Amino acid sequence: MTDSIKYGDLVMNQGTSNHFQSSTDFEKNLNLLKDKIWEFFNLKNVNFLFGSGTSNGAIPTIAKLYTSLEFTHEEEKTESEFNIIATKC
């Protein structure tokens, strides 16, 4: 079974840039996506905007986010940081 059948297709655009371009390596694209999300959450102005309620419209959609996330052993640092953020919400 191909990654695209198991996981769907990953698409990541920023402005007019397609970050995956023609890459079909799912793991490489997933890691790039994780890095970009990490980069965006580390911006001070984004933290301010999240605190100001810009995500209010998405609350019903992400209501079960905290209970449905799973982390691998290699992602312990990410899980620890996520739990710190989750307890502040």
**Rg of the chain on CA atoms, in Å:** 15
Note whether residue 69 is domain-resident. Answer: no
* Predicted TM-score (pTM) of this structure: 0.41
Domain-embedded: residue 2? yes
- 19 burial (CB, 10 Å; 0-12 / 13-18 / 19+) is middle
- Residue in this structure with the two tokens 């999240």, named with its chain if needed: 50
Inside any domain, residue 56: no
- Is residue 38 in some structural domain? yes
Taking the C-alpha atoms of residue 16 and residue 5, their distance in angstroms, rounded to an integer, is 26
Within-domain flag for 67: no
Pair of tokens at residue 13:
């655009």
- Number of domains within the chain: 1
**Residue at 87 is within a domain:** no
φ and ψ of 54, to 5 deg: -65, -20
pLDDT in tens, 19-72: 777 777 888 888 888 888 888 777 665 555 555 555 556 666 666 666 677 788
For residue 15, name the pLDDT band (cuts at 50, 70, 90). Answer: confident
Using the predicted structure, report yes or no on whether residue 83 has a pLDDT greater than 70. Answer: yes
Identify the domain containing residue 24 by its residue range: 1-42
